[in-house]
């Protein structure tokens, strides 16, 4: 009788019968499973035969039964030969997601595997059932989502896993507790050998992963990270042209020779923005490649973030990329023998240079750093070669307590790994740090309680961590030392920017891709996410930095927007981030180590931390808001409109833009408006740069401005000074000053010329031209090199408010002006920021006052050591204060300072520093009163009126009606007051004289009063003897007598100047008064005089010292004589006219050229210039081909011009020898005109 077959139940989830591939095939599979498979580390890569399997107590009998069945199979059909090739991907759908797997769909393979399973089930007494062989790769939460499709595609890109099945593994589950959490792991109970038909049982269940962490994130040891990455130390891929495929680089074949070592290294980082919708669009890919291969983006090494499988395959398909970057850390996933990228968002490195690399994971899945070691870049420490190391960064995104905490841990992991593994190697750390930098965003998040104060501190601590390990921020270093060539010139940007937004690489206010990601709210501010950090270790230094990818292109084409008019794609940026690129200069043994000569002369700056009561930036801003220093949106729009109108009128854009050969002109703001530190009460200083002479420009400008009177433009006054002509204007109610600089090249190459170094031959210009350009050149330098403009702006406004309140903001009186504050403050900012560490505004301010309070103005000079690297300035004994500007001429901006004013400034700085050191001090308390700006100057003036026993009172009266004359008289008198201070100091060195830089009036003076009377006051200190004892009577008498003599001399100087002082309309006296005689005064805010039409013509033409055309070299004797005749007679003496035959000056050849080129009624192409060549005699040249710029190689001095002739009729319209001028009607032509009249 045949015994009934034994049946073993198969319902235990603690056992499994499966096929496990050889370990050599695990690497690519586990790089996905570690990220996507919840069973990773609990299960090996496997294909289940039977799961659930039999109970633990039945494993031995079940194994014997299976072996017996396999033996019978072998005897009946021969030895079973099973081969598996997992080369396709598929998925199971569940109610709560799906499982992605790889499988073998070969009919022969699946049939063999199905028969094996059926025989196993039969051996256990079980009936055959449906079976889908698979190896799980991961799970998704939603089988219909794009993330599910991306993972399915990633699994399909795995290289085929193929092996001959020789063993069947029996697994059992071992349960355990780790950190109080229950978990389990499948271990090998035994192995069924198909060839020998035997069972090998382990003495103890064998672990599958030798040293693994079962619960990710449950431990924080470096050994765990090493164990998880035992497969990740790799060589790069290199493209083989012969095989047309990417292959693993074999590594450096031999030791590199010295001459092959590079002298420079460029490193770029670019977040290319992954596609998150499936199937992914490739429209942006050509734009990304265009940026990477463009002049500003192409590098030796480029770090790419958010790289997907689809993008990397597309990128490495491009022949240009293969040629430029022969090495890549990851090959194209579309190549059959290359595995897919592990995550959806990956970091990939492309390089010209060979390297090896490791993957250092973080505690969170999908996060880690690629650590590169360059084969040819490094330094030697004895016989040991220390390769340069590059670490990639892509920290967790978001501004929440959790995301910031993760960022900090990830950054710590990178820095800890580098410090331990490569302590002496040079480092480069590059990538997307995702650290929120905008102070606006952080403060808004705090106010909305989206983050805690601890999180805000964590953001600061991350910046500190970077600097503490010796890393330098390449952007900050390069900006301070070399300037940012890509800075935003838009005035609106200066008003809208907040602290921490300078150098932003993620800007939703500009980039629509970034705006779509962040949406609305406090996150839609510019952030400086992307950085390149350097620790040179004497191998390299930062030599440059730039951004790229800031231009739109056409989707799908890669072409710039301007390159194609009939494009099919719409304009778009390539990514939501700008790319960043850093240039490094490598040192060599033979290279000379040079240091800046000026470093020995520069006074070191020590950081002065503010007390806790002053540490809050928001309180500082609130204080400034009370003072109305930040312009409103209405103020900004008004000035934008007014400035635009002025440009339209001056440039005559509406009428003459169609004229062929129209010369280039630019109108740019300078001063506080150009620097972006203006207030609602500020004027706008403007500079026009163009190719014509100043005389012609102002003649035409005044004519056009007068025509525009109906559009809201008034010409208030024309000022003619030794530095040139200036127009005081009122445009739509906004006061403006307009100056002009003649320079053809600067105008034509604007704004490129502002980025040229000071030593460039372009600036080999006349001194007067350089003087005109100096304000705009200095302004551009400051704006290009300030590391955090918003912090600078806030600090500047506060210092300016303080200086006004304390009565030391007035350059004409020898005190501080806007340029002085800009230089002194930018110097502090740059010295604090140059290594990349962020410094809050309160610290900048306390450091500013502490530093300059102890500054020895007598012995030291204040200057920017990053600009004046080899300072050659020689200080004279007549300079009590030296604050060096940037560009020539007149480097010392404090040329009006006097010993009394320097002493006053120094005393006020010491007073301010002491106040800011007090615990409990507030910003409003420091400013004085309640901090309101309209009260602050009055409070300071009131204090001044009580501070001294004796004053010098300068009584000034004006009863004219002309605003031009009133303003001119007052302005001139104020500029002369410095002489009085100097004279008092010279005659009475023991006395300190302090002038208040504003005019006082009687308290009951009406604002409508047209008989103007005011007072300037000078406080006199130390009218005592030694030890503060009162002066002896005789000594007092001598002192007072000396003072009166000084005042009488001053009165005589003022009244004796006939140009500015007219006794018919003004008067002044100077006298000594007691404190009681000034106690009834208040500040005068009136303008003396009223605007009247034609005010700008009030000065006699004979009194003008008109600025000659700086490009004119007309030096013939007649012209020289004529020029001299225009000079102002000295002391009333008369000079005979040099040419009595006609009146007026014969207009120069430069004036004719300017008129012919600029006048829309004249066609410059119809005129010919006749000139004398030194070797060929008389020659002619078309006017349009005439070069007026002295630096042009074809330049011909204008004194060689003999005539101008009309091409159309051959008529000579200007002749030097005959003194005939039919263009302007000057010279002998004026006689013909008078005779006709």
CA distance 206 to 839: 57
Q: What is the pLDDT of residue 967?
A: 77
CA distance 873 to 859: 14
Contact predicate 17/168, CB 8 Å: yes
Cα 245 to its chain centre, rounded Å, is: 41
Give percent of the chain above pLDDT 70: 85
Both 1044 and 1003 in one domain: the answer is yes
How many distinct structural domains can be found in the chain?
Answer: 4
Mean pLDDT of 1025-1051: 80
What six digits make up the tokens of 270? Answer: 């670019």
Q: State the DSSP code for 217.
A: T
Mean pLDDT of 875-894: 90
Both 289 and 413 in one domain: the answer is yes
CA distance 636 to 638: 6
| Neighbour count for residue 1065 (Cβ, 10 Å) | 16
Contact predicate 228/242, CB 8 Å: no
772 part of a folded domain: no
Both 219 and 328 in one domain: the answer is no
Residue 553 has pLDDT above 60, yes or no: yes
- Quote the pTM value: 0.80
Both 504 and 365 in one domain: the answer is yes
Residue 486 has pLDDT above 70, yes or no: no
The pLDDT tens digits for 737-779 are 999 999 988 998 888 888 888 888 888 888 888 989 999 999 9
* Confidence at 521, pLDDT banded by 50, 70, 90: confident
CA distance 483 to 546: 10
CA distance 897 to 882: 9
- Residue at a domain's end among 1097, 1124, 1146: 1097
Both 1008 and 1156 in one domain: the answer is no
Instruction: Provide the sign of the torsion angle of the four alpha carbons 546, 552, 558, 562, taken in this order.
Output: negative
* Confidence at 931, pLDDT banded by 50, 70, 90: very low
Mind spelling out the 3-state secondary structure of 819-870?
A: HHHHHHHHHHHHHHHCCCCCCCHHHHHHHHHHHHHCCCCCCCCECCCCCCCC
683 part of a folded domain: no
Q: What is the pLDDT of residue 76?
A: 83
Both 427 and 507 in one domain: the answer is yes
3-state SS, residue 1039: helix
87 part of a folded domain: yes
Pairing of strands 245-248, 237-240: antiparallel
Contact predicate 856/502, CB 8 Å: no
For position 96, which CATH number holds?
3.90.1140.10
- Residue at a domain's end among 560, 591, 622: 591
* Confidence at 226, pLDDT banded by 50, 70, 90: very low
If one compares 692 and 835, the residue with the highest pLDDT of the two is: 692
Both 356 and 414 in one domain: the answer is yes
Both 1087 and 1143 in one domain: the answer is no
Both 483 and 421 in one domain: the answer is yes
Pairing of strands 82-86, 1177-1182: unpaired
If one compares 1017 and 1096, the residue with the highest pLDDT of the two is: 1017
CA distance 201 to 360: 37
Residue 9 has pLDDT above 70, yes or no: yes
Length of the chain, please?
A: 1237
Both 374 and 244 in one domain: the answer is yes
66 part of a folded domain: yes
CA angle 591, 298, 154 (to 5 degrees): 125
| Max mean pLDDT range (157-166, 490-499, 837-846, 1087-1096) | 157-166
For position 293, which CATH number holds?
3.60.10.10
Give the residue among 357, 244, 361 at the shortest CA–CA distance from 303.
357
Helices (H), 379-509: 401-421, 439-447, 453-468, 474-482, 491-496
Residues in CB range of 847: below 8 A, 6 or more apart:
605, 606, 607, 608, 828, 832, 839
Give the residue among 987, 911, 994 at the shortest CA–CA distance from 950.
994
Mean pLDDT of 415-437: 95
CA distance 1234 to 863: 59
Cα 55 to its chain centre, rounded Å, is: 68
CA distance 214 to 222: 15
Give the residue among 426, 394, 397 at the shortest CA–CA distance from 413.
394
Residue 1035, φ and ψ in degrees, nearest 5: -65, -40
Range of the domain at 112: 15-228
- Residue 702, judged by CB atoms within 10 A of its CB (0-12, 13-18, 19+), counts as middle
CA distance 591 to 597: 18
26 part of a folded domain: yes
1134 part of a folded domain: yes
Contact predicate 967/1103, CB 8 Å: no
Orientation of helix 453-468 relative to helix 401-421, angle to 10°: 20
Q: CA-based diameter of the chain, in Å?
A: 153
Strands, sheet with 97-103, edge to edge from the N-terminal-most edge strand = 88-94, 97-103, 135-140
What six digits make up the tokens of 169? Answer: 């593994």
CA distance 1062 to 662: 45
Pairing of strands 1081-1083, 992-995: unpaired
* Confidence at 489, pLDDT banded by 50, 70, 90: low
| Neighbour count for residue 576 (Cβ, 10 Å) | 23
CA distance 1191 to 769: 14
The pLDDT tens digits for 130-164 are 889 999 999 999 989 999 999 999 999 999 999 99
What six digits make up the tokens of 460? Answer: 């600061």
If one compares 909 and 973, the residue with the highest pLDDT of the two is: 909
- Residue at a domain's end among 591, 612, 630: 591
522 part of a folded domain: yes
- 1067 bridge partner residues: 957
Both 487 and 418 in one domain: the answer is yes
Give the residue among 237, 391, 211 at the shortest CA–CA distance from 326.
237
Residues in CB range of 519: below 8 A, 6 or more apart:
none
Q: What is the mean pLDDT of the chain?
A: 84
The pLDDT tens digits for 1176-1209 are 778 899 988 887 655 455 667 777 899 999 988 8
Q: Which residue has the tokens 């350009």?
A: 773
Residue 258 has pLDDT above 60, yes or no: no
Residue 990, φ and ψ in degrees, nearest 5: -85, -5
Q: State the DSSP code for 1170.
A: E
CA angle 294, 295, 301 (to 5 degrees): 80
CA distance 669 to 241: 56
The pLDDT tens digits for 1095-1118 are 444 443 333 333 333 333 333 333
Mean pLDDT of 1008-1017: 83
| Max mean pLDDT range (628-632, 698-702, 1095-1099) | 698-702
Both 363 and 497 in one domain: the answer is yes
- Residue 601, judged by CB atoms within 10 A of its CB (0-12, 13-18, 19+), counts as middle
* Confidence at 576, pLDDT banded by 50, 70, 90: very high
CA distance 564 to 580: 27
CA distance 881 to 896: 9
Give the residue among 724, 754, 722, 757 at the shortest CA–CA distance from 739.
724
Mean pLDDT of 702-719: 90
Residue 463 has pLDDT above 60, yes or no: yes
651 part of a folded domain: no
CA distance 1043 to 975: 20
CA distance 1001 to 1011: 12
Contact predicate 1107/979, CB 8 Å: no
* Confidence at 720, pLDDT banded by 50, 70, 90: confident
C-alpha dist (Å) from residue 901 to 807, 820, 907, 996: 11, 14, 10, 10
């Amino acid at each position: 009788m045949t015994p009934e077959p034994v049946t073993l139940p198969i319902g235990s989830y603690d056992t499994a019968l499966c096929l496990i591939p050889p370990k050599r095939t695990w690497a690519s599979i586990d790089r996905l499973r570690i990220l996507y498979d919840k069973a990773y580390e609990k299960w090996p890569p496997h294909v289940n035969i039977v799961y659930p399997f039999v109970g633990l107590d039945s494993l031995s009998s079940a194994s014997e039964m299976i072996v017996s069945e396999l033996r019978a199979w072998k005897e009946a059909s021969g030895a079973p030969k099973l081969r598996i090739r997992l080369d396709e991907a598929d998925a199971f759908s569940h109610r709560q997601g799906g499982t992605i797997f790889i499988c073998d769909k070969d009919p022969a393979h699946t049939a063999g595997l199905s028969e094996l399973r059926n025989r196993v089930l039969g051996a256990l007494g079980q009936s055959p059932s449906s079976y889908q062989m698979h190896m799980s790769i991961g799970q998704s939460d939603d089988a219909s989502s794009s993330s599910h499709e991306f993972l399915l595609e990633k699994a399909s890109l795995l290289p085929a896993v193929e092996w001959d099945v020789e063993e069947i593994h029996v697994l059992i589950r071992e349960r355990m507790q780790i950190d109080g959490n229950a978990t389990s792991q499948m271990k090998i109970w035994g192995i069924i050998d198909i060839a020998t038909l035997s069972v090998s049982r382990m003495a103890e269940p064998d672990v599958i992963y030798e040293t693994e962490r079962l619960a990710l994130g449950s431990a924080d040891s470096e050994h765990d990270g090493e164990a998880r990455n035992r497969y990740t130390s790799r060589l790069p891929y290199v493209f083989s042209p012969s095989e047309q495929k990417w292959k693993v680089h074999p590594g450096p074949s031999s030791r590199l020779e010295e001459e092959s070592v590079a002298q420079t290294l460029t490193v770029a980082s670019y977040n290319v923005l992954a596609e998150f919708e499936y199937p992914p669009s490739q429209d942006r890919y050509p734009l990304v490649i265009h940026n990477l291969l463009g002049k500003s983006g192409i590098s030796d090494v480029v770090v790419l973030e958010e790289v997907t499988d689809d993008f990397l395959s597309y990128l490495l398909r491009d022949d240009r990329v293969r040629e430029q970057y022969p090495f890549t850390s990851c090959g194209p996933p579309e190549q059959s023998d290359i595995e897919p990228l592990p995550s959806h968002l990956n970091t990939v490195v492309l390089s010209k240079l060979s390297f090896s690399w490791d993957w250092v994971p973080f505690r969170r899945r999908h996060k880690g750093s690629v650590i590169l070691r360059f084969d040819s870049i490094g330094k030697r420490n004895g016989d040991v070669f220390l390769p340069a190391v590059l670490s990639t960064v892509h920290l967790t995104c978001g501004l929440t307590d959790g995301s910031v905490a993760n960022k900090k841990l990830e950054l710590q992991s990178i820095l800890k790994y580098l410090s331990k593994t490569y302590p002496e190697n040079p480092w480069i750390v590059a990538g997307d740090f995702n650290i929120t930098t905008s102070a606006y965003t952080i403060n808004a998040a705090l106010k909305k309680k989206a983050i805690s104060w601890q999180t805000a501190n964590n953001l600061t601590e991350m910046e500190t961590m970077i600097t503490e390990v010796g890393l330098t921020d390449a952007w900050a270093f390069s900006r301070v030392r070399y300037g940012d060539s890509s800075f935003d010139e838009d005035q609106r940007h200066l008003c809208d920017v907040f602290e921490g937004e300078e150098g932003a690489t993620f800007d939703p206010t500009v980039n629509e891709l970034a705006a779509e990601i962040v949406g609305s709210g406090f996150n839609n501010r510019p952030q400086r996410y992307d950085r390149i950090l350097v620790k040179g270790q004497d191998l390299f230094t930062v030599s440059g930095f730039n951004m790229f990818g800031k231009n739109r292109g056409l989707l799908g084409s890669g072409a710039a927007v301007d390159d194609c008019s009939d494009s099919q794609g719409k304009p778009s940026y390539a990514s939501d981030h700008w790319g960043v690129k850093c240039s490094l200069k490598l040192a060599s043994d033979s290279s000379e180590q040079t240091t800046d000569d000026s470093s020995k002369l520069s006074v070191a700056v020590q950081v002065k931390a503010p007390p806790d009561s002053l540490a809050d930036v928001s309180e500082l801003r609130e204080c400034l808001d009370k003072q109305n220093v930040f312009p409103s949106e209405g103020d900004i729009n008004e000035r934008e409109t007014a400035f635009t109108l002025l440009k339209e009128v001056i440039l005559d854009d509406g009428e003459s833009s169609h004229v062929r050969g129209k010369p280039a002109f630019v109108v740019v703001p300078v001063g506080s408006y150009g620097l972006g530190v203006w207030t609602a009460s500020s004027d706008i200083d403007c500079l026009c740069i163009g190719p014509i002479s100043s005389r012609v420009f102002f003649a035409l400008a005044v004519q056009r401005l007068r025509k525009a009177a109906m559009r809201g433009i008034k010409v208030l006054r024309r000022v003619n000074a030794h530095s040139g002509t200036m127009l005081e204007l009122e445009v739509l109610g906004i006061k403006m000053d307009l100056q002009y600089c003649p320079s053809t090249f600067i105008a034509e190459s604007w704004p490129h010329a502002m980025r040229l170094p000071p030593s460039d031959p372009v600036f080999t210009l006349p001194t007067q031209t350089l003087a005109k350009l100096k304000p705009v050149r200095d302004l551009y330098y400051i704006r290009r090199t300030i590391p955090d403009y918003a912090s600078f702006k806030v600090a500047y406004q506060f210092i300016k408010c303080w200086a006004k309140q304390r009565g030391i903001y007035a350059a004409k009186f020898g005190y501080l002006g806007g340029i002085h504050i800009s230089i002194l403050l930018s110097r502090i900012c740059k010295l604090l920021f140059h290594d990349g560490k962020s410094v809050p505004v309160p610290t900048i301010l306390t450091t500013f006052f502490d530093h300059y309070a102890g500054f020895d103005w007598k012995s030291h000079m204040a200057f920017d050591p990053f600009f004046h690297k080899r300072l050659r300035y020689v200080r004279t004994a007549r300079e009590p204060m030296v604050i060096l500007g940037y560009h020539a001429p007149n480097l010392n901006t404090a040329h009006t300072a006097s010993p009394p004013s320097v002493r006053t400034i120094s005393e006020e700085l010491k007073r301010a520093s002491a106040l800011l050191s007090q615990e409990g001090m507030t910003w409003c308390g420091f400013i004085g009163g309640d901090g309101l700006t309209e009260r602050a100057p009055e409070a300071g003036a009131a204090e001044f009126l009580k501070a001294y026993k004796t004053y010098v009172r300068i009584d000034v009266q004006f009863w004219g009606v002309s605003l031009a004359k009133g303003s001119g008289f007052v302005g001139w008198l104020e500029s002369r007051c410095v002489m009085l201070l100097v004279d008092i100091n010279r005659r009475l060195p023991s006395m300190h004289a302090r002038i208040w830089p504003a005019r006082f009036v009687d308290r009951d003076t009406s604002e409508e009063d047209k008989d103007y009377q005011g007072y300037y006051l000078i406080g006199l200190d130390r009218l005592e003897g030694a030890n503060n004892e009162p002066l002896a009577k005789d000594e007092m008498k001598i002192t007072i007598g000396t003072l009166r003599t000084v005042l009488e001399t001053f009165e005589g100087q003022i009244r004796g100047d006939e140009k500015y002082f007219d006794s018919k309309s003004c008067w002044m006296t100077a006298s000594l008064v007691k404190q009681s005689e000034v106690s009834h005064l208040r500040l005068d805010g009136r303008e003396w005089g009223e605007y009247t039409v034609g005010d700008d013509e009030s000065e006699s033409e004979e009194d003008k010292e008109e600025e000659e055309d700086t490009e004119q070299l007309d030096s013939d004797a007649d012209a020289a004589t004529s020029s001299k005749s225009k000079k102002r007679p000295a002391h009333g003496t008369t000079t005979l006219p040099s040419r009595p035959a006609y009146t007026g000056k014969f207009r120069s050849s430069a004036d004719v050229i300017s008129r012919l080129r600029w006048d829309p009624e004249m066609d410059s192409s119809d005129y010919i210039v006749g000139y004398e060549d030194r070797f060929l005699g008389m020659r002619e040249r078309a006017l349009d081909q005439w070069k007026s710029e002295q630096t042009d190689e074809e330049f011909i001095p204008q004194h060689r011009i003999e005539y101008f002739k009309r091409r159309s009729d051959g008529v000579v319209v200007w002749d030097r020898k005959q003194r005939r001028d039919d263009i302007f009607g000057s010279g002998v032509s004026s006689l013909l005109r008078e005779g006709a009249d």
